[in-house]
Amino acid sequence: MSREVKPIRVALAGNPNVGKTSLFNELTGSRHRVGNYAGVTVERREGDLADGLAASAKVTLLDLPGTYSLSPTSEDEALAYRVLTGEGEPAPDAVLLVVDATNLARNLYLALQLLELGRPLVVALNMVDDARALGLPSDAASLADALGVSVVATVARTGEGVSQLAAALAQAESAEHEPRLAAPGPDHVALCETLACLGGDSARARWLLTAGVAGTAAQFGATATELERLAAVDDAKARRACQELVATRYAEIEQMLVRLGSRRSDAGAPAMTRSQQIDRVLTHRALGLVIFAAVMSVVFVSIFTWAQPLMDAIEAGFGALSSSIGDALGPGMLTDLVTQGVIAGAGNVVVFVPQIALLFLFLGLLEDSGYMARAAFLMDRIMARLGLHGRAFIPLLSGYACAIPAILGTRTISSFKDRLVTILMIPYMSCSARLPIYSLVIGALFVTADEGASGDLERGGILLGMYALSTASALFVGWLYKRTILTSPTPPLVLELPPYRLPRVRNTLLIVYDRTADFVRNAGTVIVMLTIVLWGLLSFPRDQTGAGGEGPTRIAESWGGRAARTLEPALEPIGQDWRMGVGIIGSFAAREVLVGTLGLVYGMEADDDDPVELRRAIREDRDSATGKPRYTRLSGLALMVFFVYACQCMSTLSVVRRETRSWRWPAFMFVSMTALAYLAALVVYQGGRLLGYA
Amino acid sequence: MGRGPANGRSVTLLPSRRVLDRLPAPTDALLMPERTLAALSVGEAATVREVGGDGTLAVRLLEMGFVPGTSVKLVKLAPLGDPMQFEVRGYHLSLRRAEAARIRVL
Ligand SMILES: Nc1nc2c(ncn2[C@@H]2O[C@H](COP(=O)(O)OP(=O)(O)O)[C@@H](O)[C@H]2O)c(=O)[nH]1
């Protein structure tokens, strides 16, 4: 056998929250490749056994999504089954199943299904530290006896047992065994008869039976013959057979547990005793919600305050880079292309990294500690009203910070349609990049001579109003889409509340790194390209006379400026002119760019942080013909409302493309949001005029 | 401690709905009053009789351990009254009231 050339491929299976990721990292020394499974957006991680561990053979690990079962009740489970049975790609040479020693009663269900498949199997009995502390049976040898495969006790947190596990994996290929089907009991008549109809008892027949009852057989790849056989079985009988099948497996597990020496006193949920005490506070009727609000606030305030200096530094860094390159190259078109196109584009990508990294750091810590499940538990009532799962709450809330990481965070939502609804809702949440626009407009147009506390109150109220509007709109849009273009029933909530555990920062950091690198690689390229296109729009055609070159005129004469001036008749009804039009086009690179672009239009170097001059210029700008102020409070309000709705962010659009794997949804998002933005601004401006606020 | 109202709510609200649900199938209901996990009060345990209906939810509930004969305890309700937190087969699972109503108990 050419062992050196062909590594042993091992698929890593297990329930969620059993320490699968920790064990994967221990086994691979945290080195792995990230990709996607063909055709779906499920993340696929593969890694080789770490050098120190690779004993006699080369082993490659493939991390499957965490599942409770292999019956096709969700995309993840169908995928795990496909990989394990070698559909679409060669079947793995062996399977490594991770089970949680503190909860064998449920974890062994997946073990029995794997034994049915008959693939070489190695079991990692993980969390034995907790099991020992709780006095639960944690003897690997007895479990190996009961299952008939090799079992290694491990503690993924500390690395205990990992080298023995690696040794077992190196020999896994030889652990071939016959498929072992838990025998139906004597009174399970429906099951026996139905399996006979489905071509005789086998792992596939059992899969088909559950697929039939779940109604997913056709969706998850049953053949025409199989579907015919299924159709021949009476529905009620199939239901009874399915119930008997699952009962058969659980009966087998109970026998095993008795043999393992679990005691009557283990009834209840020993692993949950401590967590239940913690939950007395964390999911308490009043305190639970207060603490949840506090946790979320800490998360978002930290994202704002910690990310801001980093983002400023990144912007300053790219600014310095572009000016020193500009100096080195001398003035010219190439220089502009490099500095304002390429470098600015790269800056537009990197500037998101702090927020993405921080959000994923927090999300990862919350997930690994077990709190994320509680968050879904607390918020599900509200999300269910919209027709969504409790898990959609946190990504949605993250939209207040930045849509990009929020959209990446929707990966925890298992139904694609619901994930899409959430993704479409997120850009309506007012992200931090809209804040500079709100404050520019409010600061420019909502100041009065007789300044007083009431002015502050009014300005605060307007800002709050914008956030309220954005939140209400996001919720409404979700409700609407869920009932129109993306109809699907409210996903059921079947959510494990795992024991609280201290998270390991290293595991979380690895995920943070993966997600951030993925963003830079995939969305990044599109963002850089779009920045260059936008630069082209605002800088061409170049002034032919050679006399100009001044910022204001050059922009006015550019394609973007001409487009804005052509569009002026459409901008007037919403209280804007071509200048704002250019700003709106320019802000497509990133909303905060509006400030800079307007600065260029008005021919000044606007300081992004405190554009005092720009504010004054906007306030005092007068129409040369009538002498009236060009911008009023009403037009300012209309502009802000426009930005509440407009999806003026190409980074968001490129991330949506990446996550939905087509341009269709980002295109839909952009068109619908822009149309809505225009309409809303129109209603505000024209409505306001009718009411006499000119 | 503060649990009273929640219990009261679950008891007063559900019977009427269950009565309505039961109307089309009176024979079965007369022999054995249909009680589901949704009707448990906090701290109460019951034994699963069957999971109703089909579809992915039915299969999933079975596979999460709600097979006939299993003992299930309602641990608590979420602060907003729904979902519910159950103890089954040594672990804790949360289900909405609507899902819990699919599981009939003895
Ligand atoms: N006590 C203990 N905790 C563990 C062990 N393995 C993992 N954990 C913790 O369990 C939690 C879930 O682990 P993770 O690897 O993310 O599980 P996954 O969801 O299966 O990928 C994390 O907080 C880990 O630190 C173990 O063997 N013993």
Q: What domains are there in chain B, each with its CATH number?
A: 32-105 (2.30.30.90)
Which residue in chain A is spatially nearest to B98 when comparing CA positions? A492
Q: Are A651 and A352 in contact (CB under 8 A)?
A: yes
CATH of residue A59: 3.40.50.300
- Name the domain boundary from A219, A236, A267: A267
Q: Ligand 1 pocket, A76 CB below 6 A?
A: no
Q: What is the tens place of the pLDDT at every residue in A243-268?
A: 999 999 999 999 999 888 876 555 68
Q: How far is the CA of B57 from the centre of ligand 1 (A)?
A: 27
**Least confidently predicted of A146-150, A472-476, A503-507, B43-47:** A503-507
For residue A597, what pLDDT is reported? 67
Task: Give the mean pLDDT of A292-309.
Answer: 80
Tell me whether residues B63 and A246 touch, CB distance under 8 A. Answer: yes
The proportion of chain A whose per-residue pLDDT surpasses 90, expressed as a percent, equals 36
- Angle made by CA atoms A15, A21, A22, in degrees to the nearest 5: 115
Average pLDDT across chain B, whole number: 78
Residues from chain B that touch A370, judged by Cβ atoms under 8 A, are none
CA–centroid distance, A380 to ligand 1, in Å, is 25
pLDDT confidence bin for A606, thresholds 50/70/90 = very low
Please tell me the residue having the least CA distance from ligand 1 atom 8.
A19
Q: What distance in Å separates the CA atoms of residue A168 and residue A9, rounded to the nearest whole number? A: 13
Does residue A363 sit within a domain? no
What is the pLDDT, as a whole number, of residue A547?
Answer: 39
Whether A87 and A190 share a structural domain: no
A531, pLDDT greater than 50: yes
Separation of CA A290 from chain center: 25
Q: How close is the Cα of A117 to the center of ligand 1, in Å?
A: 27
Task: Report which of A581, A583, A558 is spatially closest to residue A336, judged by C-alpha positions.
Answer: A558
Minimal-distance CA residue to ligand 1 atom 14: A19
Q: What is the pLDDT of residue A124?
A: 97
Of A228-232, A483-487, A570-574, A632-636, which one has max mean pLDDT?
Answer: A228-232
- Choosing from A17, A22, A514 the residue with most ligand 1 atoms within 8 A of its CB, the one to mutate for a pocket test is A22
Q: Please, what is the Cα angle at B87 between B83 and B90, to 5 degrees?
A: 145
What pLDDT score was predicted for residue A357?
86
Q: Please tell me the total count of domains within chain A.
A: 3
Average pLDDT score over residue span B92-104:
94
**Do the chains contact at A266 and B90, CB–CB below 8 Å?**
yes
Nearest CB neighbour to A285, from listed B2, B59, B82: B2
Q: Where are the beta strands (DSSP E) in A227-306?
A: none
**Quick check: is A646 in a domain?**
yes
Q: Give A690 or A345, the one with higher predicted confidence.
A: A690
For the beta sheet containing A150-153, the strands, ordered from the edge strand earlier in sequence to the opposite edge, are A33-36, A43-48, A59-63, A8-14, A94-100, A121-126, A150-153
Q: Summarize pLDDT for B29-53 with one digit per residue, the tens.
A: 455 568 999 999 999 999 999 998 8
Using a CB-CB cut-off of 8 Å, the residues of chain A touching B10 are: none
Q: What is the DSSP letter of A122?
A: E
pLDDT digits (tens, 9 = 90+) for A369-426: 999 899 989 989 988 888 888 888 888 888 877 788 788 878 777 788 888 999 999 9
Q: Based on the fold, state whether residues A226 and A158 are members of the same structural domain.
A: no
User: Mutation test of the interface with chain A: which of B9, B48, B59, choosing the one with the most A Cβ atoms within 10 A?
Assistant: B59
Beta strands B91-95 and A494-496 are antiparallel
Are B68 and B48 in contact by the 8 Å Cβ rule? The answer is: yes
Closest chain A CA to residue B72:
A268
Please tell me the distance between residue A659's alpha carbon and the centre of ligand 1 in angstroms.
Answer: 28
User: Quick check: is A460 in a domain?
Assistant: no
Mean per-residue pLDDT over chain A, rounded = 84
Co-location of A60 and A108 in the same domain: yes
Q: Are residues A92 and A42 in the same domain?
A: yes
Burial class (CB in 10 A: 0-12, 13-18, 19+), A277: exposed
The residue whose CA is least distant from atom 26 of ligand 1 is: A127
C-alpha Rg value of chain A to the nearest Å: 30
Residue in chain A nearest B96 by alpha carbon: A493
Ligand 1 neighbour A17 (Cβ under 6 A) = yes
Q: What local confidence, expressed as pLDDT, does residue A619 receive?
A: 81
Strand-pairing partners, residue A100, are A126
**Alpha carbon distance A534, A653 (integer Å):** 15
pLDDT of residue A309 exceeding 60, the answer is yes
Q: Which residues of B touch A382 (CB under 8 A)?
A: 80
Domain housing A98: 8-170
- Cα(A513) to centroid(ligand 1), Å: 19
pLDDT band at B11 (very low <50, low <70, confident <90, very high): very low
In ligand 1, which atom is closest to the CA atom of A155?
27
* Listed range (A542-556, A562-576, B14-28) with the worst mean pLDDT: B14-28
Instruction: Identify all chain A residues contacting B69, using CB atoms and an 8 Å cutoff.
Output: 247
pLDDT band at A276 (very low <50, low <70, confident <90, very high): very high
CA–CA distance, A92 with A8 (Å, rounded to integer) = 8
Q: What is the DSSP letter of A520?
A: I
In a domain, A147, yes or no: yes
What is the pLDDT at residue A55? Answer: 64
Strands (DSSP E) contained in A419-476 are none
A211 plus A84 within the same structural domain: no
Q: Which of B63, B71, B72, B95 to mutate to test the interface with A (most CBs of A within 10 A)?
A: B63
Q: Best mutation site among B49, B54, B56 for testing chain A: the one with the most A CBs within 10 Å?
A: B56
A663 and A622 assigned to the same domain: yes
Render pLDDT for A555-568 as a digit per residue (tens, 0 to 9): 777 888 888 888 88
A159 and A256, same structural domain? no
Strand B45-51 relative to strand B103-105: parallel, antiparallel, unpaired? antiparallel
Q: Which of A671, A643, A667 is nearest to A654 (CA)?
A: A667
Write the DSSP string, A313-353. HHHHHHHHHHHHHHHHH-SSHHHHIIIIIIIHHHHHHHTTH
| B window 14-33, beta carbon within 8 A of A | none
Residue A23 falls inside a structural domain: yes
Distance of alpha carbon B27 from alpha carbon B34, whole angstroms: 11
Which pTM does this prediction carry?
0.81
Peptide bond into A541 cis (omega under 30): yes
Nearest to A283 among B78, B91, B95 (CB): B78
Please answer yes or no on whether B68 and A247 come within 8 Å at the CB atom. yes
pLDDT for A451 beyond 70? no
Pocket test for ligand 1, best of A152, A366, A368 (most atoms within 8 A of CB): A368
Q: Which domain-ending residue is among A238, A267, A296?
A: A267
Instruction: Tell me, yes or no, if B4 comes closer than 8 A to chain A by beta carbon.
Output: no
- Report percent pLDDT > 70 for chain A: 90
Average pLDDT of the segment spanning B72-87: 94
Residue A271: pLDDT band with limits 50, 70, 90: confident
Which of B56, B78, B82 has the CB atom closest to A215's CB atom? B56
Residues in chain B with CB shorter than 8 Å from the CB of A216 are 56
Tell me, yes or no, whether A230 lies in a domain: yes
Q: What is the predicted pLDDT for the residue at A600?
A: 63
Q: Extract the tokens encoding A95.
A: 């399977």
> To test the ligand 1 pocket, which listed residue (A63, A134, A157, A274) has its Cβ within 8 A of the most ligand atoms?
A157
Does A73 contact B60 at a Cβ distance shorter than 8 Å? yes
pLDDT, tens only, A55-93: 677 899 999 988 999 999 888 888 899 999 988 888 999
Q: Match 């061409």 to its residue by tokens.
A: A540
Residue A356 lies in a domain: no
What local confidence, expressed as pLDDT, does residue A592 receive?
55
Q: Do A548 and A592 lie in a common domain?
A: yes
Choose the final residue of a domain: A210, A232, A267.
A267
From the CA of A72, how far away is ligand 1's center (Å)? 26
Q: Is A45 in the pocket of ligand 1 (CB under 6 A)?
A: no
- How many Å separate Cα A379 from the centre of its chain? 18
Residues of chain B in contact with residue A246, where contact means CB-CB under 8 angstroms, are 59, 62-63, 67
Give the residue among A590, A65, A56, A186 at the shortest CA–CA distance from A352: A590
Q: What's the farthest any 2 CA atoms get from each other in chain A?
A: 97
Residues of A in contact with B59 (CB under 8 A): 71, 73, 210, 213-214, 242, 246
Say whether B59 and A106 touch across the interface (CB within 8 A). no
Shortest Cα distance, chain A CAs vs residue B103, angstroms: 12
pLDDT, mean of residues B85-91: 94
Residues A15 and A154 in one domain: yes
Interchain contact, B55 vs A215, CB within 8 Å: yes
| Residue whose CA is at the smallest distance from ligand 1 atom 28 | A127
State the nearest Cα–Cα gap between B64 and chain A, in angstroms.
7
Confidence of residue A133 (pLDDT cuts 50, 70, 90): very high
pLDDT for the residue B27: 47
Integer angstrom CA distances of residue B102 from A19, A25, A138, A515: 31, 40, 35, 39
Q: Does ligand 1 have an atom closer than 6 angstroms to the CB of A370?
A: no
Closest CA–CA distance from residue A401 to any residue of chain B (Å): 26
Q: Are residues A165 and A220 in the same domain?
A: no
Question: What would you measure as the largest C-alpha separation in chain B, in angstroms?
Answer: 40
Tell me if A66 CB under 6 Å of ligand 1. yes
| Spatial CB neighbours of A675, under 8 Å, sequence gap ≥ 6 | none
State the smallest CA–CA distance between residue A643 and chain B in angstroms.
Answer: 34
Q: Is A192 among the domain residues?
A: yes
Amino acid (1-letter code) at residue A274: R
Contact A431, A400 (CB under 8 A): yes
Angle separating helix axes A203-214 and A104-117, nearest 10 degrees: 120
* Residues A49 and A192 reside in one and the same domain: no
A550 and A675 part of one domain: yes
**pLDDT value at residue B31:** 53
A104 CB neighbours in chain B (<8 A) are 90
Per-residue pLDDT, A542: 66
Rounded CA separation A418/A656 (Å): 14
Q: Which long-range contacts (CB under 8 A, 24 or more apart) does A578-587 make?
A: A580/A639, A582/A538, A582/A555, A582/A556, A584/A642, A584/A646, A584/A648, A585/A534, A585/A537, A585/A538, A585/A560, A586/A534, A586/A538, A586/A560, A587/A437, A587/A648
Please tell me whether the peptide bond between A7 and the residue prior to it is cis, using omega within 30 degrees of 0: no
